[in-house]
Structure 1
Amino acid sequence: MKHLFIFTLLLLQIKVEAQTSALAIADSLYTLGNYSKAINEYSKVGGLSAALQIARSYNAVGNYEKAIIQYQYVVDEDVENQLAQFELGKLLLKVNRFDEAKPVFINLSNLNTTNPEFQFYLGEVNRHLDAADSSLKHYEKAIKLDSTHLRSLFQLAKHYTIKQERDNALKYILQGLDYYENDVSLINLHALVLFNDSQFEKAIPLFERLLELGEDKDYVYEKLGISYRRNWEFKKAKEAYAILLKRDDTNSQTYFDLASVYQKESKLDSAKIYINKAMAVQKPIFANGYNQLAYIAREQKDLEKAFKLFERAHKEDTSNAFIYYNIATTYDQFGTDLKKKLGYYENFLKNYPNQHPYYYETAKKRISELKEEIHFTKD
């Protein structure tokens, strides 16, 4: 009996050692990225730990369906295994199975109420399910649990930036930057909030900082060009647009923006050159080009030419109320036919009734004045 007991212990020891050896081989294969062979070795070992590693291996090779099945097996066998549930939830989110991911993260947040990551991912799931209010609440909960949770701070800041709620956006942006001043995403949002608020002087150093941090992207130069121009830094604006044109000399908007710089400098001949270049590459309409040329002609006191250019712009884009308003006001300045003047303003009210209230009220006032002039002229 004693010999049998010792023999059994030896068999168990050999089995454990064999499993340990097989597990070590499987772990080594997994660590080195040899996932297919690792799966075979883990299958020999058995058990929940090996099953979790098999799920991770399938995930690593991109076989997400098998990974999900394997993760689900582990979770079903061990309902309190937070790590397996967390990896399963993130994978479901990755493959856009949001409805399935949601209960996983809800369960995790119930198992561990102090983990900000679980709240963040609940926010992500709800965001993808178009439940904006719920997603914001979960991001806020994540921040309450960890005031430095940058991804939650970014999502909240991004939401309020898009909504153009300046104060709320800045609250979360500055909170994040106070923790990590070189966070590119938050610096970008900070710059955009100031840009959208027309605080160009304050936005400029932030866009410049993005370039220093390696965000050498077209949109940064576009926003910088506009900011420099609006801040009367014309040389720097030209430099920004020159970089954009070097990258893409077929972008009509860059030529138009560059023309605006020369126009602000009162270098109208140069402005016309760049407007014509813009129109040469512009597809499919020329409304913007004709409109800008009309403004230049008006600055040069050639009102009749400006009027004709505004008309050409309007033919290209009949939906643009402001172009038609310029037709009316320009003819009003040089034209002599009172009835024709009246007709332009009346057409503006008729065709563009829901446009800018200032232009609408100005047109109504001018109609009243013209009717009075016509009446006295008849008398």
Structure 2
Amino acid sequence: VYLKLARAHQAKGTLDDALSFYAQAATGTDEVIAMNEYGKLLITKRKFKEADSVFTELLNAYTTNPDFYYQRGRAKEMMPHNIKIDATDSTITSEKRLVPHITDYKQAVALDSTHQKALGELAVFYLKRKEYAMVEKLAFKALESYPTNVEIIGTLAQSYYYKGWNEEAITWFEKLIELGQSTQFIHEKLGNSYYKDRMYKLAIEQYLEALKFSPEDAYLHFTLAKLYNHTEDLKAAETHGLFAILYKDLPLDEEYYTLSRTYEMKKDWANAMKYVNRSLAENPENKNAEYTKAIVADNYFEDRRAVLKLYEDFIEKYSKTDYAKYDPVLRLARERRDKLNREIFMAEGEEEK
């Protein structure tokens, strides 16, 4: 009767009453169902220490139940700990003290190699530690018994993404979308994976999907502006570049620079100069913007000597760096400087005649 009352209160959301009746139903390990449900509700109510005690008592009686280890692991994970690290501890002992819940998750998997939730928790744990080989091992183990587990697939996709395996990341993020998953995170990371592999049109599709979740996200607009520059859809690049500036807090040097590049490709030299100057006002050390300013001036200014000075200033500033002799931008700047010098010399010679 107490168990039925506890379940009824839990179903209608009066959880304090449910806890009271569960406590009366869960009088010992013989009442295993009541104790299990009681422990889970204690976790829901953030009474982690009490939940830990309940599942420890159950495990003393039922030592081979994998789900009891998993539930106790949940309680331990969320419980605050005062941990003292002993330098003489072994790696295993240190892990037990620092992350005691991992031992329970591992025990759950040892007892049931198909325990999806325990495998998922372990995979996330190793993902945070950047131990990608372990993530993939656990994920593929879970997918053997449940090939459409979206939590596991998401963790696997992130593992490949963060270690830079773009093709594999694309495969698993696409799988998530095939299974009906759609979040800003998924579309953004899939879009970025396409971007890195220079699949610009596919990347644009995903960033536009991500934008539906956050229409005023300056980063998404900024990335779309760069992508549209790559596909030479300059009208769309201009639109998203302006939105990126509108929605972003300072600094804006990269957004101004990207927009100046859009106007440069459109041969709108006045706006290109306007936004490259704004970029440099935000960040005078933006090398790309400095070089772009010289190029824009080359097409916009009539005063050849003023243009020449921009190239000369750029060359003088960046010739002092350690890798200057390998810098292709410096090489282009020097070639243009030399050509301008010849043009100015020839023009002045013609005037003297």
Shared topology, TM-score over 0.5?
yes
Structure-2 residue corresponding to 1:305 = 309
Structure-2 residue corresponding to 1:202 = 202
Q: Which has the higher contact order (CA 8 A, sep 6+)?
A: 2
Q: In the alignment, does 2:43 pair up with 1:42? A: no
Unaligned runs of 5+ in 2: 81-96, 340-353
The amino acid of 2:308's aligned partner reads E
Give the Cα–Cα distance (whole angstroms) in 1 for the partners of residues 325 and 51 of structure 2.
58
The residue matched to 2:113 in structure 1 has which SS? Answer: coil
1:89 pairs, out of 73, 80, 83, with 73
Contact 1:287 1:313 in 2 (8 A): no
Structure-2 residue corresponding to 1:175 = 175
In structure 2, the CA distance between the partners of 1:220 and 1:310, relative to structure 1 (3 Å rule), is same
The residue matched to 2:64 in structure 1 has which SS? Answer: coil
Structure-1 residue corresponding to 2:238 = 238
Contact 2:65 2:111 in 1 (8 A): no
Higher alpha-carbon deviation: 139-148 or 50-59: 50-59
Give the Cα–Cα distance (whole angstroms) in 2 for the partners of residues 72 and 312 of structure 1.
71
The amino acid of 2:51's aligned partner reads A
Contact 2:67 2:108 in 1 (8 A): no
Give the Cα–Cα distance (whole angstroms) in 2 for the partners of residues 228 and 119 of structure 1.
41
**1:89-121 Cα distance to aligned partner (Å, 9 max, x none):** 334445698742333223322333344444333
In structure 2, the CA distance between the partners of 1:304 and 1:210, relative to structure 1 (3 Å rule), is same
Give the Cα–Cα distance (whole angstroms) in 2 for the partners of residues 288 and 107 of structure 1.
54
In the TM superposition, residue 230 of structure 1 has moved relative to its aligned partner by 0.9
Structure-2 residue corresponding to 1:122 = 122
Structure-2 residue corresponding to 1:274 = 275
1:330 pairs, out of 315, 330, 333, with 333
In the TM superposition, residue 123 of structure 1 has moved relative to its aligned partner by 1.9
The amino acid of 1:44's aligned partner reads Q
Give the Cα–Cα distance (whole angstroms) in 2 for the partners of residues 33 and 277 of structure 1.
56
In structure 2, the CA distance between the partners of 1:205 and 1:117, relative to structure 1 (3 Å rule), is same
Give the Cα–Cα distance (whole angstroms) in 1 for the partners of residues 23 and 181 of structure 2.
47
In the TM superposition, residue 311 of structure 1 has moved relative to its aligned partner by 5.2
Structure-1 residue corresponding to 2:253 = 252
Contact 2:218 2:248 in 1 (8 A): no
Aligned pairs for 1:71-220 (under 5 A) are 71-94=55-78, 99-180=99-180, 182=182, 185-212=185-212, 214-216=213-215, 217-220=217-220
**1:331-352 Cα distance to aligned partner (Å, 9 max, x none):** 455459xxxxxxxxxxxxxxxx
The amino acid of 2:280's aligned partner reads M
Normalised to the residue count of structure 1, the TM-score between the two structures is: 0.69
In structure 2, the CA distance between the partners of 1:276 and 1:47, relative to structure 1 (3 Å rule), is same
Give the Cα–Cα distance (whole angstroms) in 2 for the partners of residues 67 and 249 of structure 1.
45
The residue matched to 1:147 in structure 2 has which SS? Answer: coil
**1:72-94 Cα distance to aligned partner (Å, 9 max, x none):** 23333322344333222334445
Unaligned runs of 5+ in 1: 1-19, 337-379
In the TM superposition, residue 228 of structure 1 has moved relative to its aligned partner by 0.9
Contact 1:160 1:169 in 2 (8 A): yes
Contact 2:73 2:101 in 1 (8 A): yes
Aligned residue-pair number: 313
> What is the root-mean-square deviation in Å for CA atoms of aligned residues?
3.5
Q: In the alignment, does 2:43 pair up with 1:59? A: yes
In structure 2, the CA distance between the partners of 1:309 and 1:29, relative to structure 1 (3 Å rule), is farther
The amino acid of 1:330's aligned partner reads A
Give the Cα–Cα distance (whole angstroms) in 2 for the partners of residues 320 and 253 of structure 1.
23
Give the Cα–Cα distance (whole angstroms) in 2 for the partners of residues 334 and 253 of structure 1.
26
Give the Cα–Cα distance (whole angstroms) in 2 for the partners of residues 156 and 248 of structure 1.
32
Give the Cα–Cα distance (whole angstroms) in 2 for the partners of residues 322 and 290 of structure 1.
18
Normalised to the residue count of structure 2, the TM-score between the two structures is: 0.73
In structure 2, the CA distance between the partners of 1:332 and 1:289, relative to structure 1 (3 Å rule), is closer
Q: Give % identity.
A: 15
The residue matched to 2:232 in structure 1 has which SS? Answer: coil
